[in-house]
Amino acid sequence: MHCSLLDKDGNNVFDDGSDEGSDILRHAVAGLLKTMSDCTLLFAPHVNSYRRFTPGTLAPNNVSWGYENRTAAVRIPGGDSKARRIEHRVSGADANPYLVCSAVLAGMLYGIENKLEAPEPINSITYDEAELKTLPLDWLSAIRKFESSDVIDSLFPSEMIELLIAVKKQEAKRFAQQVTNLEYLTYLQDV
């Protein structure tokens, strides 16, 4: 998802004429990084969503950002500074676009309102950076992270949070009760 932010006069507030972009851009990035792990359930809402986070898929698997870095979870594309924007690369095609947009905008607003400071951008391949915080890499971890978050309550209405957690727990329970064909073939066929 690409996102820019305009003021009431239509000016891109991420553009200050520099290659790095404005302080507001970096506050927005910091907010996205702060809320990213907690919102992973919105970016990857199904059990199958987590298959894309495996090595070699080019999907981001950690909380990271960089300029023109296609391995980072948050990328600031190059080009004309007037088109300065943020690319949020975590969500998959199976995610609800309304929830993804809400989470990205809420994360940006959280960073801007709290004047959070982004860490230094990463210019190398992020997949092997051991010091980076990893995203929840499975569905149950993402559900737990969303439910136990200290930030989610400030981003979304409580009714939405409660309903989403209830639905995802119900879905996870149904999946846990099913024996798949692969499991049967692997563990039971030759018994």
CATH architecture of residue range(s) 2-188: 2-Layer Sandwich (3.30)
Instruction: Kindly list the strands in the beta sheet with 74-76, ordered across the sheet, starting from the edge strand earlier in the chain.
Output: 2-3, 86-88, 74-76, 65-67
Task: Give the residue-averaged pLDDT of 98-113.
Answer: 97
| pLDDT tens-place string over residues 36-90 | 999 999 999 999 999 998 877 889 999 999 999 999 999 999 999 899 999 999 9
CA distances from 137 to 62, 142, 183 (A): 9, 7, 21
pLDDT computed for residue 191 by the predictor: 59
Strands (DSSP E) contained in the chain are: 2-3, 65-67, 74-76, 86-88
Task: Give the residue-averaged pLDDT of 131-135.
Answer: 89
Task: State how far the Cα of 163 lies from the Cα of 110, in Å rounded to an integer.
Answer: 22
Q: Band of the pLDDT at 190, cuts 50, 70, 90? A: low
pLDDT computed for residue 130 by the predictor: 78
Task: Give the residue-averaged pLDDT of 14-31.
Answer: 95
For the chain, give every domain's residue range.
2-188
